Structure 1
Amino acid sequence: MDWFKLSLKLNKFPINRAITHLKVIQTIPEENYENYLHGQREKIVKYHLKNNGFYRNFFGKDKFSSWEDVPVMKKSDLQQPLEMRLSDTFSKKNPYIGKTSGSSGHPFIFAKDRFAHALSWAAFQDRYKWYDIDLNKSLQARFYGIPLDFYGNIQERLKDRISLRRRFNIFDLSERKMEAFLNRFKKSDFDYLNGYTSAIMLFARFLKDRGMVLKEMCPSLKICIVTSERLFEKDKILIEEAMGVPVINEYGASEVGLIAFEDENQHWIVNSEDLFIEILDNNNNILPPGNEGRVVITSLYNKAHPMIRYDIGDTGVLSEKSTFKKPILEKLIGRTNDIARLANGKVVPGLTFYYVTKTVIEDSGNIKEFVIVQTKIDEFHIEYVSEHEFSEEQRHKILKAIETYVGKNLNIQFERKEYLKRSPSGKLKQFTSLVH
């Protein structure tokens, strides 16, 4: 039984047509691919100008003239009732409707027509096959959150059952719970793990602390796919050692689908079949490959709702080896709002704090998780979960490193907690600035 296809068909998503269309796109030769992308993006703009009142008002013109004149959409532009943003050819009854996680601070409800949604899933299926994972047959260990209300919980568990996914609820990551996770792996023939980086990282630490390798207890395991949160190289090495299988980076977003997927050469191959990816500067100018800027995405087939030149809130770099058919994401630096602004005008990527504290935390051996919050222009809170409080020596090392890499005269507060607050979806945001 093809469970993956069945689950989509039951929800009236035309997956067979989507798979066929994806294969047709993939046969387009490199020399013709630029024409395909330019033609499809112009089509979707013209469709929404004709059929979507919200987009006509947002666009500010009656006709498409050039791609550079197409306005860039921010998440805040979409924070209004969905009925106002749907195309005239759709109602709330016929498209797929979802909600973003809100980790960027700008949650909103979106819609995708059923073919566009099926095409997104066809892309996922295609990439998973690179690693001998068949969504119709392969059993997934799913490290995600889950709705806690009765209806949402039952609905999600039913979807998991049909889609060959077994949920590992990450809202409780105590050692007792991870012991239960381990027992499930011993009793089941899981083909792969898929889930949030921070949750899988915690499970990997649990295994490493006990000198265990997961594949030795679950020989059917092939790969581990991490998504939604940044994976650092040192963490990747640790997870691979603890799991005994390769760790694959997936980059996606619910509102647009699969954005990029890591191949066997450790290249993030951008989805150029149903998405068009651009890197823009702060003035919305298109940057050539090799330059860092804002990741802006166009969904080429979504007729229900415009996702055109949509600023997803991330910063990244496309490789200079990129082509129109095979763009390569060289770096994904993080959220554009994950930066610290200091009183002297200095701007520091939140990633800097991760590296500063990471070294000390690994030295201690007892730190489980941590987050850093900028509460004022000169004040940062480091919240952490550990067996013991930071020693004075550990605090001194962190303060010294922050002074070296970030700046002087900063007020650093440490707070040990029983657990760290996650988003409703289960994500853990490791750096947040509350300073606007």
Structure 2
Amino acid sequence: MKKQLIYGNLFALNILRLFDFSLRINGFDINKAKLALANIEALSDSEFNSYVEHKKKEITLYHLENNPFYKSFGKSIDINNWDSIPIMTKRHLQQPLEQRLSDGFKITNVYINKTSGSSGDPFIFAKDKWCHAMTWAEIMNRFSWFGIDFNTSKQARFYGIPLNKKGYYKERLKDWFSNRFRFSVFDLSDAAFDKALEKFKTSKFDYINGYTSPIVQFAKYLQRNNVVLNTVCPSLKVCVVTSEMLFDDDKQLLEKQFGVPVVNEYGASELDLIAYQNTNGEWQVNSETLFVEILDENSNVLPYGKEGRIVITSLYNQAHPFIRYDIGDIGILSKHSTLRKPLLEQLIGRTNDIAILPSGKKAAGLTFYYITKSVIENDGNVSEFIIEQVALDRFIIKFVSREMLSSDKKSIITQEMERYLEPGISIDFERVEQLNRSKSGKLKQFTSHLNQ
């Protein structure tokens, strides 16, 4: 009877902390990982600096000794000279996963996933189970800054979902274990948002999490219907957006229509959570499980405040090397950064999202998108749009709208493009019923077809 009572109590505790339990039964020791992360956070500044230097050398040595792929890749490495370590790109990793795993690791004893392919260079990757547990400890730590506990807080999730039956029900089961309800981002009609609003009225959601663009569309729907979300769902605490750029005016719209703080998250599935907006509004970089550098085109480390390539080292992944890994993004670390608390001042976009103009001038694709956004959305007619470059001097703006764009509006957009970039650019406009999203549900705001 006593044993039954003990087992019953343990079962009840596991049900109460279902998310932690689901990680543990899959071999990810989340309790140990949370303790390890807490110990890292408790280090003094000098101890933390030593910790980072030790982990950088330790993970590099590990892969040089235990990973045939990395041993071949890093032949010229001087372990006492960090700058001698070559930069790894996604192209280097586009070979069978079995050839990239460290000794002792195999497909059956690692966590496996696939990158989204938003960079144009998708590949399958692996993490050892301890590394993946540390990833989840980091994520849960950051969400706790805003009072979110993955075991008890209910999530309104705006993500894609597989359309095949097996994939669909697998995601729904994962959602149940993770205490979340998923709203599909493939239908952004008012009818779909009517149903979403009713779900918010009848559910005690603690937070919203998902891709930026569909969440912005939901906020625009609420604005049209004069609804502030936390008045009908008072349990709502915060909204966390990820995977797509969040512009200042969209953030203001979200905060106004949701009535809660909006947090910007930046991560990569093959690495970890990279940066997360803290309660002071700073985009704080993960320095506990990652080492983040900003490099120029010649792979030289840039000082804080300078724009360059974001290069990241995973300090814990022994199954698969991600050492000085060029993630394909361009950004700036703030001049106020320290080794312990790096701050991401700006995430400019992907290295392959660059608009090349007839004069040879280059412009970051998302900046290009932003120029148009400031004009095209100011009257609420256009709900979504993307820009595609099809030639040096020719761009297509594909948009979803209630009414066709007027010739005056098209003329203003073309003039603004020429004013910010250069004269002689041709802009075509194409109105569509809906924009094509990736299989994951992400919307790519700017695409150049010049390299395809």
Q: Same fold (TM over 0.5)?
A: yes
Percent identical across equivalent pairs? 54
2:395 alignment partner, one of 376, 380, 398: 380
Q: Which residue of 2 aligns with 1:83?
A: 98
Q: Which residue of structure 2 lines up, in the alignment, with residue 343 of structure 1?
A: 358
- Asked if 1:314 corresponds to 2:332, the answer is no
* Counterpart Cα distance in 2 of 1:256 and 1:302: 9
SS in 1 for 2:39: helix
Residue 63 of structure 1 deviates from its aligned partner by 5.8
Which secondary structure does the structure 2 equivalent of 1:313 belong to?
strand
Q: Cα deviations across residues 108-134 of structure 1 (Å, max 9, x unaligned)? A: 100000110010110111111111111
Give secondary structure in 2 for the equivalent of 1:135: coil
**2:318: which partner in 1?**
303
Q: Given the two structures, how large is their TM-score scaled by the length of structure 1?
A: 0.98
Partner of 2:73: 58
Given that 1:352 and 1:405 are in contact with CA atoms closer than 8 Å, whether structure 2 keeps it comes out as no
Task: Give the distance between the partners of 2:440 and 2:124, measured in 1 at CA.
Answer: 15
Is it true that 1:31 corresponds to 2:42 in the alignment? no
What does residue 164 of structure 1 align with?
A: 179
- The residue correspondences of 1:108-187 to structure 2 (distance < 5 A) are 108-187=123-202
The partner residue of 2:416 within 401, 420, 426 is: 401
CA contact (8 A) 1:46 1:63 kept: no
Secondary structure of 1:93 counterpart: helix
- The 3-state SS of whatever aligns with 1:432 is strand
Q: Secondary structure, in 3 states, of the residue corresponding to 1:155?
A: helix
Q: Is the 8 A contact 1:214 1:242 kept in 2?
A: yes
Task: Write the letter of the residue equivalent to 1:123.
Answer: E
What amino acid is the match of 2:261?
P
Runs of 4+ with deviation above 4 angstroms = none
Q: Is the 8 A contact 2:385 2:399 kept in 1?
A: yes
Cα displacement (A) at 1:314: 0.7
Shift of 1:330: 1.0
Displacement after TM superposition at 1:21 (Å): 0.7
Q: Identify unmatched segments of 5+ residues in structure 1.
A: none
How big is the shift at 1:62?
7.0
TM-score of the two chains, using structure 2 as the length reference: 0.95
Report the counterpart of residue 40 of structure 1 in structure 2.
55
Quick one: which of 69, 81, 88 aligns to 1:73?
Answer: 88
SS at match of 1:380: strand
- Cα displacement (A) at 1:64: 2.4
Residues 352, 406 of structure 1: 8 Å contact kept? no
The Cα of 1:345 is off from its aligned counterpart by 1.0
One-letter amino acid of the structure 2 residue matched with residue 363 of structure 1: N
Q: In structure 2, what is the Cα distance between the partners aligned to 1:139 and 1:426?
A: 21
d(CA) in 2 for partners of 1:122, 1:252: 14
For 2:407, the equivalent position in structure 1 comes to: 392
Which of 380, 384, 399 is equivalent to 1:369? 384
Residue of structure 1 aligned with 2:264, choices 235, 245, 249: 249
What count of residue pairs does the alignment treat as equivalent?
436
Amino acid at match of 1:352: T
Mapped contact 2:77–2:86 kept (Cα < 8 A): no
Q: Equivalent residue of 2:378, what SS?
A: helix
Residue in 1 that maps onto 2:32:
17
Residue 386 of structure 1 deviates from its aligned partner by 0.4
Determine the structure 1 residue equivalent to 2:234: 219
Residue 352 of structure 1: CA displacement?
Answer: 3.0
Gaps in structure 2 of 5+ consecutive residues: 1-15
Paired residue secondary structure (2:352): coil
Q: Distance in 2 between matches of 1:276 and 1:354?
A: 30
Residue deviations 1:94-153 (CA, integer Å, cap 9, x gap): 010011110110111000001100101101111111111111100000000012222222
Give the superposition deviation at 1:434.
1.1
Cα RMSD after superposing both structures: 1.0
Deviation for aligned residue 1:65: 3.7
- Paired with 2:257 and 2:77, the residues of 1 have a C-alpha distance of 57
Q: Tell me what 1:97 maps to.
A: 112
Aligned to 1:260: 275
Question: C-alpha distance in 2, partners of 1:315/1:432?
Answer: 16
C-alpha contact 1:372 1:431 (8 A) present in aligned 2: yes
Moved more, 219-228 or 339-348: 339-348
Match of 1:425 in 2: 440
Q: CA deviation at 1:348?
A: 1.2
Counterpart residue identity of residue 299, structure 2: N
Matches within 5 A, 1:224-235: 224-235=239-250
Aligned residues of 1:96 and 1:112 also touching (Cα < 8 A): yes
Q: Which amino acid aligns with 2:293?
A: E
CA offset digits 1:169-188 (Å, max 9, x no partner):
11111111111111110110
Contact 1:338 1:433 in 2 (8 A): yes
